[in-house]
Chain A
Amino acid sequence: MNTFRDFLTSKKLLLLFLFSLLVISFASVFFVNFRSRSDADEPTSEKVPTLNVLNWTSYIPSEVISDFETEYGVKVNYGTYSSNEELLAKVSSAKSGTYDLIFPSDYMVDLMSSRDLLETLDKSKLKNLDNLNPRFLSQSYDENNLVSLPFLLATSVILYDSEKISTPLTSYHDLLREDFRDNLVLLDDERITIGSFLLASGADLNSVETTALENSLAFYEKLKPNVKAFDSDSPKTFFITGEVDAGIIWNAEALLAQTERENLKIVYPSEGFALSMDNYCILKHAKNPDLAYLFIDYLLRDDVSQAIVDEYPYISPNRSVTSLPDSELETILARGTYVKNVGNDIKKFDKLWAKYK
């Protein structure tokens, strides 16, 4: 008894414990890293077929999902994320087969498919495929649409209050004007905001060259006194409450702000702007691929596509959903640039971003 007591309070026990913790933590590092490669899937026995979806926050109205559930007698498990990186983290840390359908953006499609995470799509299962405008297909990030199909397109735009700003804006350089002192909102997104200033200083949106990045920083230094805030969650609020008179934000946010205040004007900057296409992708080892195809086909339907853009006014690749005249769409697609996967060079962007702040 006494020896047991001594053992319980002895340093040996502590050491033993700490050592085992060490072993466990090492093991967990390896486990986390290799788990995704092993196929340790357990069979599931669910009665109602359940589709596991991961999508951006505020992207599909909840009625659209509940209508799908009642129409087909299935259940949709709907999870959300707010950045492509978060999506990647969720997908790669979860057991394979946890999620069926995801909505990554262009560069993330490229990255995920290079990591062999995405299933090759069987397009014969989609009878509404023809609803897609071919203008949106075969983009640089997935040239033959092997693993992805377009869902919605976002573009970055300049929004300004035409009542307070009398001379119209056309370019990023116009934002340097004195009357915008402490009066701009920018997206809190390093790829888009740095990308905009790369364009402003004459480089490509996806440039990773040191001089180009330095030039973009120099442009930002000039703009800095005018910047009031960085916000990605709801930059439209800054316009609606009159906090700022101009800014670089997403097109849908801009359109929503316009419904509140009519004198807000949208400008596609002359130097160019970012395009961000979000896509339907089915994950490898998905448990319910057929249900995923069913859901994609449902979302491709004209009435459903319309319901989505009515609530979230992004640009739909569905040809019958009229959000823009053809000529305007053509200009947007021609002048905008998709955000590309830059691999390890993302660290350059991140370091630059730390300098911005």
Chain B
Amino acid sequence: MTRVKNNHNRPFSSTSELREKTPKLSSSKTVFDGIKVLFTLPVILYALLLIFLPLVYIFFLSFLKSDSYGGFLFEITLDNYLESFDPTYLGIFGKSVAIGLVTTALCLLISYPFAIFLRDKPERTRSLIITLVMIPFLTNSMIRTYGWITLLRKNGVINSALLGLGIIDAPLSLMYNSLGIIIGMTYTLLPFMILPVVSAVSKVDQSLLDAAEDLGAGPLKKFTKVYLPLTLSGAFNGSLMVFIPAIGYFFIADILGGGKAMIIGNLIKNQFLTARNWPLGAALSILLLILTFGLVKLYEKIGGDLDELGGA
């Protein structure tokens, strides 16, 4: 995130510097800028038409009154927002956040040992393993989620194997509960955590690790005193990319949770499809957006500070 921000800032600042220092170049620069605008126009239009515009539409919708069947009346009201804070819906918000936090924590727990293990491997092995992490992305995530049913169900692969080996007496309830949802979310979102964490861990200076070792730091101390402080930015980046989808991926909650646990994603989907209450769905979407935006802002704040501390 910070890297992207820098990339955006640099050309702009250097352009303005150039303009001030060498005024003669300004006309050719103008043409260049014009071309630049021309070439970015399709992307800008795409983003505005397909992302920004629908958001504006949702924003206005969230202030309208709903009529009985999917329509809305042109009356400005705050009812939809007040309704969103009903205890029932707050409970769903709370449950979604809990599922998101557990998923994020699990992804962190898996990603760090993985990243540290990968750090010392030769370049070729590393890129091979990273490719293997990426490969599942080639298949639709919904199909992969259905695949988990075969593994997790009562007489599925895992339960049959454990029963056959005599490790358990009765089949375990691995899905159609919160456990199923968390397994599905962690599996689907893990790559989003692995990539930033691996990249952050691989950038940690070897001399710092050597120094820590010379001063008698064990593996745990090395992790808490060297790895963790230097990679917090990457970890937060990954956490953001895991947490935000985890509170909205309704299909995982539907398929592996057996439709029993509603998360914000399902709630919004239901308002649009079943309850025909688009304004309430819009208000819930806007609240989710505000939550997401707040997290990104928080990240920018922490990420910025960490950048300075890291001092790279």
Pair from one complex: yes
Which residues of A are interface residues toward B (Cβ below 8 A)?
Answer: 1-2, 4-5, 8-9, 17, 21-22, 24-26, 28-29, 33, 83, 85-86, 88-89, 92, 111, 115, 182, 188, 190, 227-231, 241-243, 343-344, 346-347, 349-351, 353-355, 357
Are the C-beta atoms of B53 and A24 separated by less than 8 Å?
A: yes
Closest to A88 in B: B70
Known: A25-B53, A229-B176. Contact between A354 and B92, CB under 8 A?
yes
Residue from the list A24, A29, A243 in contact with B154, Cβ < 8 A: A243
Are the C-beta atoms of A85 and B70 separated by less than 8 Å?
A: yes
Are the C-beta atoms of B57 and A86 separated by less than 8 Å?
A: no
- Per-residue CB proximity of B12-33 to A under 8 Å, as 1/0? 0000000000000011001001
Are the C-beta atoms of A350 and B270 separated by less than 8 Å?
A: yes
CA–CA, A26 and B61, complex, Å: 10
- Per-residue CB proximity of B194-216 to A under 8 Å, as 1/0? 00000000000000000000000
CA–CA, A121 and B54, complex, Å: 39
- A-B Cβ contacts below 8 A, count: 105
When distances are taken between beta carbons in the complex, the residues of chain B under 8 Å from A347 are: 275, 277
Known: A9-B33, A25-B60, A353-B270. Contact between A231 and B153, CB under 8 A?
no
Are the C-beta atoms of A351 and B30 separated by less than 8 Å?
A: no
A36 to chain B, nearest CB (A): 10
Check: B125 CB closer than 8 A to any chain A CB: no
Residue from the list A9, A21, A33, A229 in contact with B52, Cβ < 8 A: A21
Closest to A351 in B: B88
Closest to B32 in A: A5
Residue from the list A24, A89, A229, A343 in contact with B70, Cβ < 8 A: A89
Residue from the list A4, A88, A357 in contact with B69, Cβ < 8 A: A88
Q: Which of A5, A17, A343, A346 has the most CB of B within 10 A?
A: A5
B183 to chain A, nearest CB (A): 15
When distances are taken between beta carbons in the complex, the residues of chain A under 8 Å from B68 are: 343-344, 346
When distances are taken between beta carbons in the complex, the residues of chain A under 8 Å from B276 are: 85, 88, 346
10 closest cross-chain pairs (CB), A and B: A229-B258, A230-B259, A350-B275, A357-B262, A344-B68, A5-B30, A25-B56, A188-B259, A229-B176, A343-B68
When distances are taken between beta carbons in the complex, the residues of chain A under 8 Å from B61 are: 29
Are the C-beta atoms of A83 and B33 separated by less than 8 Å?
A: no
Are the C-beta atoms of B70 and A354 separated by less than 8 Å?
A: no
When distances are taken between beta carbons in the complex, the residues of chain B under 8 Å from A229 are: 176, 258-260
When distances are taken between beta carbons in the complex, the residues of chain B under 8 Å from A92 are: 70
B89 to chain A, nearest CB (A): 7
Residue from the list A25, A85, A231 in contact with B259, Cβ < 8 A: A231
A121 to chain B, nearest CB (A): 23
Are the C-beta atoms of A22 and B26 separated by less than 8 Å?
A: no
Check: B304 CB closer than 8 A to any chain A CB: no
Residue from the list B67, B154, B260 in contact with A241, Cβ < 8 A: B154
CA–CA, A349 and B296, complex, Å: 35
Are the C-beta atoms of B56 and A22 separated by less than 8 Å?
A: yes
When distances are taken between beta carbons in the complex, the residues of chain B under 8 Å from A25 are: 53, 56-57, 60
Residue from the list A21, A86, A343 in contact with B48, Cβ < 8 A: A21
When distances are taken between beta carbons in the complex, the residues of chain B under 8 Å from A88 are: 69-70, 276
A230 to chain B, nearest CB (A): 3
Check: B241 CB closer than 8 A to any chain A CB: no
Residue from the list A33, A85, A182, A351 in contact with B273, Cβ < 8 A: A85
CA–CA, A117 and B57, complex, Å: 26
When distances are taken between beta carbons in the complex, the residues of chain A under 8 Å from B260 are: 227, 229-230, 357
Are the C-beta atoms of B33 and A86 separated by less than 8 Å?
A: no
Are the C-beta atoms of B262 and A86 separated by less than 8 Å?
A: no
